[in-house]
């Protein structure tokens, strides 16, 4: 009978339809602890087994970078700091060369407002500890004398693996750029493993590749003046990094004054004027250093430094809550609540 003869075909068609309807692998999300922060990694459209396998590699790489670049625990970085102090030439451990070379370029482009050579100052403020400092700020004369030593990345020369500092007070702290460099490395690893739709979010600093299914990745920008609240949403497009530096990340209060972890190398004190700076650009290393540099530059000087660093998509929230934004950033963000005070101006 024709109807019966057709049965296997109909069954096959039905089975095929069922298979087709099976949910394709969609979102996979996991959280790792590294660089002193929670790192959330999300993939789209990756099989669970493959995702787990790649995450194991990511975890290993993060651990390696964290140990190699740590600013105050003994390791390759502390050894480099000992050798820089001697002002004699030496061969640097290659595991730290990559971020140091990039940090040097970015420091020079920022007129040394991003200055990872001021580790002595950051240590004096007590930020070289897992616990936050407390009590009065360091004595003013000690701060003044460290500022007068004028340690800068330009004091370092790097030729292949040979490194030398001409200033014994150059001591490196890559805290302002390590997360960005690490995120770039992890995204490169994901791409090598064939993962093309992912987002790596290190405590609100992130880089995205591809899309979240049929829409772009969407992320929130923290409101620097309201703990845990989102100021605005933004789409992170393929290959874009979104980095924010804020005075709410690591700080302590003493006698009604807030002392936070982003130090103005010109004064030796926590940078005044900004509450947070958000930067969008392709390279996460650049975004990280630029967010720190523009935070230090503050409401008066951020446009000049942004221009010098090749950054056009910026938002700065000042200490009073006024928002300075470039047209490029304004076109990208949607504020949760309309800002009370907003000034649109280009990087210049």
What is the torsional sign of CA 282, 57, 54, 33? negative
The single residue among 146, 231, 296, 315 that binds ligand ADP, judged by CB under 6 A, is 296
> CA 118 to CA 1: how far, in whole Å?
88
- How far, in Å, CA of 110 to CA of 289, rounded? 9
Q: Maximum distance among all alpha carbons in the chain?
A: 101
290 within 8 A of 111, measured Cβ to Cβ:
no
Q: In what order do the strands lie in the sheet with 230-236?
A: 217-222, 230-236, 333-335
Q: From the list Mg ion, ligand ADP, none, pick the one residue 296 interacts with, judged by a Cβ distance below 5 to 8 Å according to partner type.
A: ligand ADP
Give, as ranges, the residues between 180 and 219 that touch ligand ADP (CB under 6 A): 205
- Residue 42 in contact with ligand ADP, rule: CB under 6 A: no
Check residue 116 for interaction with ligand ADP (CB under 6 A).
Answer: yes
> Near ligand ADP by CB under 6 A, which window of 8-16, 145-153, 214-222, 258-266?
258-266
Q: Which is nearer to ligand ADP, 128 or 193 (CB)?
A: 128
Please identify which residue in 153, 261, 278, 317 interacts with ligand ADP, judged by CB under 6 A.
261
* C-beta closer to Mg ion: residue 176 or 270: 176
Closest C-alpha to 71, from 121, 27, 109, 33: 121
User: Does 262 contact ligand ADP by CB under 6 A?
Assistant: yes
**What is the C-alpha separation between 274 and 249, in angstroms, rounded?**
13
C-alpha 76/C-alpha 115 separation (Å) is: 20
**Closest distance between ligand ADP and the C-beta of residue 293, in Å?**
7
Shortest spacing between CB 162 and ligand ADP, in angstroms: 24
Per partner kind, with CB cut-offs from 5 to 8 A, the member of Mg ion, ligand ADP, none near residue 235 is none
Q: Where do contacts with Mg ion occur on this chain (CB under 5 A)?
A: 176, 245, 288, 291-292
Q: Does 105 bind ligand ADP (CB under 6 A)?
A: no
Helix (H, G, I), strand (E, B) or coil at 197: coil
How many other C-beta atoms are found inside a 10 Å radius of the C-beta of residue 325? 23
Binding site for ligand ADP (CB under 6 A): 71, 114-116, 122, 127, 173, 175-176, 205, 245-246, 249-250, 261-263, 265, 288, 291-292, 296
């Amino acid at each position: 009978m024709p109807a019966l003869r057709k049965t296997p075909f109909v069954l096959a068609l039905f089975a095929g339809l069922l298979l087709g309807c099976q949910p394709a692998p969609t979102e996979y999300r996991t959280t790792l602890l590294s660089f002193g922060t929670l790192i959330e990694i999300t993939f789209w459209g990756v099989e669970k087994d493959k995702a787990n396998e790649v995450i194991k590699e990511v975890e290993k790489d993060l651990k390696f970078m964290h140990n190699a670049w740590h600013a105050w625990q003994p390791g390759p970085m502390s050894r480099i700091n000992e050798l820089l102090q001697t002002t004699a030439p030496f061969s640097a451990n290659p595991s730290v060369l990559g971020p140091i070379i990039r940090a040097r370029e970015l420091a020079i482009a920022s007129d040394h407002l991003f200055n990872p050579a001021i580790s002595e100052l950051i240590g004096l403020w007590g930020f070289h500890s897992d616990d936050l400092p407390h009590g009065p700020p360091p004595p003013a004369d000690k701060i003044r004398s460290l500022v007068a030593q004028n340690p800068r990345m330009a004091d370092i020369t790097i030729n292949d693996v040979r490194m030398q500092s001409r200033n014994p007070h150059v001591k490196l702290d890559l805290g302002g750029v390590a997360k960005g460099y690490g995120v770039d490395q992890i995204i490169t690893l994901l791409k090598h493993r064939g993962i093309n739709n992912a987002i790596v979010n290190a405590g609100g600093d992130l880089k995205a590749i591809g899309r979240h299914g049929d829409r772009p990745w969407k992320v929130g920008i923290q409101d620097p003046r309201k703990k845990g609240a989102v100021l605005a949403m933004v789409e992170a497009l393929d290959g874009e990094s979104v980095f924010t530096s804020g005075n709410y990340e690591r700080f302590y209060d003493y006698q009604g004054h807030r002392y936070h972890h982003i130090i103005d190398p010109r004064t030796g004190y926590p940078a005044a004027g900004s509450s947070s700076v958000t930067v969008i650009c392709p390279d996460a290393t650049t975004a990280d250093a630029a967010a720190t540099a523009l935070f230090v530059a503050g409401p008066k000087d951020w446009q000049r430094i942004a221009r010098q660093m090749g950054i056009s998509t910026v938002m700065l929230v000042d200490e009073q809550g006024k928002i300075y934004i470039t047209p490029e950033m304004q076109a990208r963000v949607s504020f949760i609540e309309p800002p009370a005070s907003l000034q649109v101006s280009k990087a210049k």
